[in-house]
Structure 1
Amino acid sequence: MHPAQLERTLTASNYARQVMQQLPELWKQDYAIDQFLPTLTTEQLDALVQHNLGCCTDEATWMQKSRQLRARLMLRWIWQDANELTSVVQLTRELSDFADACIRSAVVLAKQPLVARYGEPIGDDGQVQDLIVIGMGKLGAQELNLSSDIDLIFAFDESGATNGRKSIDNQQFCIQWGQSVIRLLDQVSADGFVFRVDMRLRPWGDGSALAISHAALERYLAQHGREWERYAWIKARAITGGKAGQLLMDMTRPFVYRRYVDYTAFAAMRDMKAMIEREVQRRHSEDDVKLGAGGIREIEFIVQVFQLIYGGARRELRVKHCLTALQRLGEIGLLEMADVEALKKSYLFLRRLEHAIQAMDDQQTQALPTQAEIQARIAQVLHFKDWPDFLQTLQQVRQVVSQQFAQLISDRTETVENNNNSESLSALQQKVDEPAWQLVQNFWNSSSIKKLPESARLRLDAFWPALTRILLKKQNPQLALTRLIPLVESILRRSVYLVMLVENQGALQRLVDIVSVSPWIAEELTHYPVLLDEFLSTDFELSSRRDLEDSLRQLLLRVERDDIEEQMRVLRLFKKSQVLAVAASDVLAERPLMKVSDALTDIAEVVLQASLHLALDSVYARHGLPKRSNGEVLTLDAAAFAVVGYGKLGGIELGYGSDLDLVFLHDVDEQSDTDGKKTISGMEFCVKVAQKLMSLLTTQTLDGRAYEVDTRLRPSGQAGVLVSSLNAFAHYQEKSAWLWEHQALVRARSIAGDLLVRQRFEHIRHQILTRPRDETWVKSEVRDMRQKMKDHLGSSREQQKAGIFHLKQDAGGIVDIEFMAQYAVLAWSGTNPDLARFSDNVRILNDTATAGCLSRSDADALTAAYLRERTESHRLALAQQSMQVNAADWFETRKVVCTLWQRLIDPAAIEGLDH
């Protein structure tokens, strides 16, 4: 023993001196070795408890030995804390591990006399029931302090009865079992106690049954669970109960972590904070370092409110330890890292102070001492010159915490006490036109409003003034209002969304701005309100391809392999929320067209790749894998199956409502059987994968469908097989395909699947496109196909005379430019093979200039026209307006396109452009 350490320990703790006097054997040599080990692992503490208590067969012996062991370890922990031989995190973890081990030992001992009297408790499934002890609060989070009580809840898995001669029901058995556990741990004897036990966090609190079944707890949380209980259950952890305990914890997760981004947590936090402040004032305990202003509880609130808001969507936030959660909030950007570091530093300081206070007399208190002598000793242990010096630092720490806490609340809410609906409605009536006002009146007089539960009505009453304040600042409020009212009606029964918007005024402002511009966005949110979760929490930055892949992979990891319905839900909501984020970014940040198309194409490709993996995994699980055509054994990552994208997907030009033109290719041995339990042929395997993939993407569910899929561009169209072998595809393209099918191949690109199949497709594509062709024949074919499209899809002669121009289908429109790019590849790549490198029109046009097939000015002029027309088509799609526009506004752009069309393909086409 070091004399200086001993002196410091005795300065830090009167309790340590008492232990040394009462238990002199602690100083014997055999104790000194493990007594002051720098750390004790979970396994070492388990072994220590088992060694001391495992042999006890009666309560009296167990109680004596457990209390002496506790005193021995408390001396060790106080010694280490006073001499800074341990960290706050290590110390609290060891205390918690010791509590766990004592609880498990007590549960084993307490059961024996009950079984002797009543027999084993048997569930409805015939299995012996265990007592599930749930640690709450600091025990659940493994953050116990030096003199913590332990918050427990007792549960059991299934109802039933004991199998003894004197049978009682399982609940009564578990109540008596729990009572014995409490007595073993909590009862004060000549040797002290092990842990003070607090059972008040159980359902219904004091006065309710001491133990509750899994089913009853599930009903309670679903029907009666209060917001403050969600905070409490964040830290809940099953200490005993094995698999039944873990299943019970899994059951509670949806109660704690809602599937949506949940801003109701702010209101609950404010209510709990106000309640705590009233209690602090009542007890005159403002100097409580846990509950007082700027104390430990405020740091925990900051962390937990973010966990409750975002934990449903962000799995990494579902942790129990405060510092771990705090670090992750910084890593994912919900808190600034500088703020995270400041809060961590404050938390560790306050916890160390808490330990110094409690070590003095082993008292469960967080109040600063009032006696001058104790103050001086604590200041000395914490390395301060004196108590005033310490108080100055403490004040700075509490100020940091208080500022963070105040900012959390003020950033998220705006007072609405001075507004009421009648005033809001009156102001709105003066600002909007008559049809919009009639819509408002119909809304407030509707039966759906009258039938609202009180809680939902209160939320609506808080939301409406907040919405009105924003609408009154708009030049044309009725536009946003008429689009928002259907959305509000759709979320009334899930009124938490109203809370989200009230609590996040910036998000409400963005929502009003966006729906003012885009009725398409308004309709998407109205039809699928769950999209509000992501929509309101996004920063509207375009996600990188890697971020999209990581995000979808994390979402799908949570879904069971055979839960097809949930897989579909995840795919649909991911696609819709990501596309919605792109649209919002497009509207608010005015993203360039190419960036928007790239982002929409990335989303589609990521969804396709994930869907293909799910489809392959599903078919593989039942049937195994076939062999490659050369006899090679396949794996899921190299299953000789690939997806090719045509059209807008292939050309990296997806719009908001684009469907996916897909072709499926394989390189398997069609005749060989798969290697699974239920064998099928290689061809059947490929067809099942394609069908499964299409089902995942196109099945209509409550969440809509992910994408519309068109497979008519496959060899022989609808008459052809759904999946083609590479050899069959190459043969068809060489021998049977029409020129328009080669036009389509210009915009084809491999998207997902087996790398070798994808590479082989790209090789086939290049070979087909670079074949020498007669330019005159190509012109004729392209011109005839284009004319058919104009006749079928373009504006009528009467519409053209009336000054209407269809941006896509009329002369000088988007399709003309696409056809010229395709003509360039088919006519000229035989002598300029680089023209067949890319599938998107912009890069094809650039390559025609590089190759000297078009002048740079002509290529640039076509590109500029193409981008202008496509940009306008995106805008019209978001505004849900027709592609038919005023021809006069597009005369110069059309003239550029038509002039080049006349020069390249059809000399007579310029006629009639003077409209």
Structure 2
Amino acid sequence: MPSKENRSIFIYYPRGSSRMSGLKSLLENKPSPEEAGPLLGDYHLPPSKTVIENLKSIALWASPRQKPETFLMSLLKNIRDSAHPEQALNQAERFFCRIKDPEEIFRIFQQKKHPLRILCTVFGASPFLSGILIQDPDLFSWLIEDAVWNSSPEKGPLIQEILNACRGISDLKQAYPALRRIKQREMLRIGAKDLTGSSDFSETTRSLTTLAEAAIEAAYQTADRFMKIRYGRPMMEDPSGTPRECRFAVLGMGKLGGAELNFSSDIDLLYLYESDQGETTGVSDAYGGVQGSMGNHLYFVRLSEALTDMLHANTEDGFVFRVDLRLRPEGSQGPVASSLRTFELYYESFGRTWERAALTKCRPVAGDLSFGKEFENMVRPFVYRKYLDYEAIDEIKEMKKKILKKLGQRTSRGDNIKLGRGGIREIEFFIQALQLIYGGRITWIRERNSLRALHRLCDKELITYEDFSSLSKAYIFLRDVEHKLQIENQLQLQTLPTDPSRLEQLARRCGARDLRNFLQDLDGHRSRVQRLFENLFYEKERGLGEEDSPVHDILSEDPEVEEVHRHLSLLGFQNPHIAYKNIILLKEGPPYAHTSSRCKVLFRKIAPALLKEVSSSPDPDMALNNLERFVSIYGAREIFYGLLGETPPFLKKIVFVFSMSSYLSNLLVRHPDTIEVLIGEDLMHPEPPSEILFRTLMQGMKKISSSPERMDLLRRFKHLEEMKIGLRDILMDTDLLETSQALSRLADACLETAYTLAMEELVKTYGSPQNPLGEDAGFAVMGAGKLGSEELIYGSDLDLIFVYSEDGECSGHGKITNKDFFTRLAGRITAILSTMTAEGMAYRVDLRLRPQGEAGPLVQSLEGFHEYLDQSIQPWERQALTRVRFCAGDKKTGERLRSLITETLFHHPPDPELHKKVLEMRMKIEQEKARQSEALLFFKTGAGGLIDIEFLVQYLQLRYGYENPEIRFPGTLRILNTACRLGFLSEEDAALLKASYLFLSRLESRTRIVQDRPITSLSSDPGKNRALALRMGYANNDTEPPGRKLLDDYHAVTQKTREI
């Protein structure tokens, strides 16, 4: 690129006293254009009326202080060297006429020579920067101070200056003017230094990036302060259950992330917060209460929107930076801000190559930077694959083709210097392709900044020094041209002007000797970039051979079986013989089946990635076996293998599911069409409320009338929704409490459906049950146990209690008593849920917690229940009733029963022997159901197990519920938190119990999801617990086997729990 010293070498300008006299004559007379033409032509000015009037206006302004012709001569000499002399003169006249202290300006011009050159350069190149100076002429004195001119913007002082300017404001929009004024002032400094050659390309882009980072951070702090004043602090619980503030970070992408912004760059941002679980503290209202509390997601969405508006809104003071949020998950359709887990799941499930390329430039720029670093660490394996990723070349090549198609593949001089052939984007694609291919193994080349990345690629000999030099020079040249296009009017321009005079002005702004040399340099750089780009993407894209892999031996046509078994054993298969049979079935299909050659080729193509995922899964044998079963049922092997090859996240998910749960795998095998759940976005959404599930299920029921079909529909619905919950659980590592609540909501919906269907059948036969006054009697299905506390896990029975409001008779012809009607209703509900059909069973129902247990009637009236509570209730039944809640039927009846229970349990002082009775019952259960042995450990009923914690919670409720209503409601974690807050448990004990409960509950959940049946023990053999430990998330390493680590943690947890 031509040096800055060559800016003025367009025409040779003669010097002489005749010019001075000619200028004096022009000012004193009214020359014709023909008379003024020779003089003004020497300065590249047309002899127009406007030019002459501007000269006279400036002369009049200067005349009281010095000879006007002397000042104008100096001015014209500098204007002559500018990119657009006529524009420069016009802007100069506007500027001088707004000067409040002309003496100060002349003093500056007399002391230094460069200020006038700076002014004229800016005026001739950029109406945008000229407008800043004309609007606030005092900025000129600030600009040419040595401390300002010889330095660059600093992030810390800029942030503090903006925050100081925003102190005392009462509305967020009052911060907008200060942000914009400071941005314009710094843009003036950066732009003036760039135009005059006082800063090079790197300094200019670094300064623009610093300005953006400071503006984002200051805007974030200001918006966050206002949000917290209104809504309180967003809170969450750390893994130990300790509340703390939820963190937030702003991530810079694109040129912001690479610290290489241009003068009119959008800033590409991602908004990240730590957890969806939690809400804001709210703020105190005038009545001593709390208002303004909201969930974390809504809080951070509103914070992000406020921050975006502070930067992006175009006010009378302009904008700070245009904000582009389209790089977020799901683009413009996705939420403005997302949690760390949401980002992780999105990239695992749906991440594409262009998103990987975009993330090569990602870095935290505002908010909690250490939290932003956690995001970087999280996405690094997604961005940089461990293996050589040649597929990236094809996808980036396709991205480039789409861009060229959109541009119409123009190749003329009016090309887009960013997106056209040989443009900036090709250099960026070139860098990103090599980073994606090799970055998994060569960490040194993981660099966001384009110029530094090229240097590192050369350093590792991935490109030659000549190519490094060519691409670096081309990048600087093209980016400088982009700067000079955009600095004119702060517009997002990348297309060269087609008008010759405007193109020549651009060349002058770029410091070229003349237009011809500028175009030669431009064409030379773009040709070299295009050649290197095409060499990488079209000639050498498959020049590097694939690495040898044992998969080739396994899939060979004439394999050494013993060698294949050895390979499979090394891959983690416990039964390599069966594993090899499954691989052959996947490749060839069942005996006598005709499998197309294309299908076999597709399988060979996906086999390395498939076996890699299978071998790293918790249970490789189970994963491969379930996969083969599914493929044999699915049928469309070619489509399925193509889908696995085209969608690596899908392959990863389905293998993981098949290794984690035979229960979910069986559901997929039984209903292979439900595989769409793994492909679509259903899993990204939480389980809906029970009311919506019920309405959805009943809409299906309305389309069928036979009872068997309705029961099958209920089971299909329950299994599909339970599969979604299970998939969210194991693929998204959903919070245990959220999973339990989702399973409980699903059970509530199924109960309400069973109640509705049963009522409909019985009312048709017997009429409605009524009390003696002719009013409808109510019936409630109450949940106890884990259903009552909304802590269901996979395979849980439904502990139910049936209650009706009052005695009476039904309104139909075949009159029966209410008790008979409701007994039949309870029996029908139980049958609808638990009868085994072709679709299996919906739920096992346990009715033993009803009054008098199995000896008592199936249903009880409220009066009968009240009598039982007054006269017959046993101590252990009091414990069980702490977890009773309404689930389905008549809510009023359910609430009346709940009131009776509350009155019995909590409206009287606690039994003085409560502690003794609870302990005796606990020991009895332990002796009967948890006979520990060397081979088995009972994590539910054994010492320090789940029952210990549940009994402790029930004791706390019965002991302190009399005086503390807030501890009366079911929910283990809720009660532990409340007991700690009220001082009934120490913080240390509460934290330990919560951690123990979560550990043991997760252990129970992970054992049950495998087979969907109650399992309450684990083996004391570490080797037998390896798969379970991996399912629980333990790392697989040789130094500390996961099964051993699981047992060590189990013993530590149960010992501490029993001590409490």
Q: TM-score, normalised by structure 2?
A: 0.41
TM-score (norm 1): 0.47
Q: Higher Cα Rg: structure 1 or 2?
A: 2
